[in-house]
Amino acid sequence: MVFLDIWAVLRNLEDMISIEKALDIIRQNIPASQLETVSLLDSLGRVIGEDMFSDIDMPSFDKSAMDGYALRSEDIKLPPVELEVIEIVPAGKVATKELKPGKAIKIMTGAPIPLGADAVIIKEDTQYISSTQTVRCFKRVERAANICFKAEDVKKGEMVISRDTKITPQHIALLSAVGKDKVRVYKYPTITIASSGDELVEITQKPIGAQVRNSNTYSIQAQLNNVGFKVTSLSIVKDEMDSLTKKISQGLRADIFILTGGVSVGDYDIVEEVLKKLGTEILIDQVAIKPGKPFVFGKNKHCLVFGLPGNPVSVFVSTEVFIKEVLSILCNDPGLKNPIIKAILTEPIERTSNRQQYLFARCYLEAETNLWKVEPIKGHGSADIASLSRSNVFIIVPADSPPLPSNSPVSVMVLE
């Protein structure tokens, strides 16, 4: 009897794959990225899927950079000089006259330089004399002064933004100037989530007896909304074959379906069974991660299926580690994943594990040393959302790490 159980333990250890191995399996099963067309403003923060070219020269004509007078620079080599003002050109209009020696054309910022002019003197260096319709120029100007030349910023046909660039507000300014009201970006997958568990009640309800509010759908939505993804929530599912079958079938229509609860080894954890019955190929069911060891990953036609344990902190960690990895690959955006930085432990970590741990912590830049310090938060494990809410990082402690003394350098996953 005892002998048999040792075998079970050994098998269990073998089934529990490392995080890296799990990520490898997941990566191998991610479908090819696709592109979609979105409106210019909706492309903000997205990764562009094609090179973008300008359809015009920028500027598209020689233009004045300032309000002032267009003139021939050689006419005012010895200021003060008075020139006859023969026309006024506002932005958006073209001068009707050619500029001859001894003449000036009043010009506004952005207006085209009149034919014959080779410089602009700024208004502040002149005085207009209305009685004679002349302008007195008090300074000399160099040839080309205050002129923006045609195509000096961008040439027609020039590539302005290359594919795989993440679109910032600066890019939006440029894309609008080169006439792109629609942009091809890496397509965002559809994401559906649901929570299973007979103990769960809606957050508007006050839990009684053994009930618990369903926070998981909210935290997953917030985590994914936070990096720009919309999420459809199917809310709470009963731990029972028919309800699960119905909800899971619905969830499998999405590109990514995330179900929390029902994946542990408990007697009522029938999610994996229902998933299989619905034709899901289960590729992972346990990962050496703490919290979050019960972790189902599978594939059902086009749908990537994730079964996370019901504990809120496990769900939070699994979403950061696994779901964001999928999104970053599908959308070609490593920026969707949390940054991982090095920090110095302020307190020892005594308890390590045969699984890679993600521990509650607060990280801060210490002013005197200019070093990132990280202080573990003593929490109560995978249901302790209060300690989670006080964390701005997770300390990552590798599987089978020795205990870590104070001042050890550690990797931390940045959450905000």
State yes or no: residue 29 binds its own copies (CB under 8 A). Answer: no
Interaction residues for its own copies, span 101-130 (CB under 8 A): 106, 108-112, 123-124, 127
Separation CA 152–CA 164 (nearest Å) = 26
Cis peptide upstream of residue 405 (ω within 30 degrees of 0): no
Name the minimum Å distance from CB 257 to its own copies: 19
Q: Which stretch binds its own copies (CB under 8 A): 53-61, 270-278, 297-305, 405-413?
A: 53-61
Q: Pick the binder of its own copies from 303, 306, 387, 396 (CB under 8 A).
A: 387
State yes or no: residue 58 binds its own copies (CB under 8 A). Answer: yes
CA 268 centroid distance within chain:
38
Tally the residues of the chain: 416
Interaction residues for its own copies, span 245-284 (CB under 8 A): 264-268
Name the minimum Å distance from CB 122 to its own copies: 10
Interaction residues for its own copies, span 210-239 (CB under 8 A): 210-215, 218-219, 221-223, 225-226, 239
Say whether 226 sits in a helix, a strand or coil: coil
Separation CA 344–CA 360 (nearest Å) = 15
Write b or e for each residue in 128-157: b if 16 or more Cβ atoms lie within 10 A of its Cβ, otherwise e.
eeeeeebbbbeebbeeebbbbebbeebeee
Q: Pick the binder of its own copies from 33, 150, 184, 199 (CB under 8 A).
A: 199
Q: Which stretch binds its own copies (CB under 8 A): 22-30, 148-156, 282-290, 325-333?
A: 148-156
State yes or no: residue 93 binds its own copies (CB under 8 A). Answer: yes
Q: Pick the binder of its own copies from 73, 150, 190, 198 (CB under 8 A).
A: 198
Q: Which is nearer to its own copies, 68 or 251 (CB)?
A: 68
Residues whose CB falls within 8 Å of the CB of residue 5, separated by 6 or more in sequence, listed in order: none
Name the minimum Å distance from CB 251 to its own copies: 19
Q: Which is nearer to its own copies, 29 or 272 (CB)?
A: 272
Q: Pick the binder of its own copies from 49, 114, 189, 197 (CB under 8 A).
A: 197
Q: Which stretch binds its own copies (CB under 8 A): 15-23, 41-49, 249-257, 275-283?
A: 41-49
Q: Which is nearer to its own copies, 242 or 416 (CB)?
A: 416
Q: Which stretch binds its own copies (CB under 8 A): 152-160, 185-193, 241-249, 282-290?
A: 152-160
Separation CA 247–CA 406 (nearest Å) = 48
- Name beta bridge partners: 137: 81, 126
Separation CA 228–CA 201 (nearest Å) = 27
Nearest to 299 by CA among 270, 326, 338, 321: 326
341, amino acid identity: I
Say whether 57 sits in a helix, a strand or coil: coil
Strands 393-397 and 371-376: unpaired
Binding mask 168-187 for its own copies (x = CB under 8 A): xxxxxxxxxxxxxx------
State yes or no: residue 25 binds its own copies (CB under 8 A). Answer: no
Interaction residues for its own copies, span 311-350 (CB under 8 A): 311-312, 316
Separation CA 62–CA 95 (nearest Å) = 12
Phi, psi (degrees; rounded to nearest 5) at 99:
-85, 120
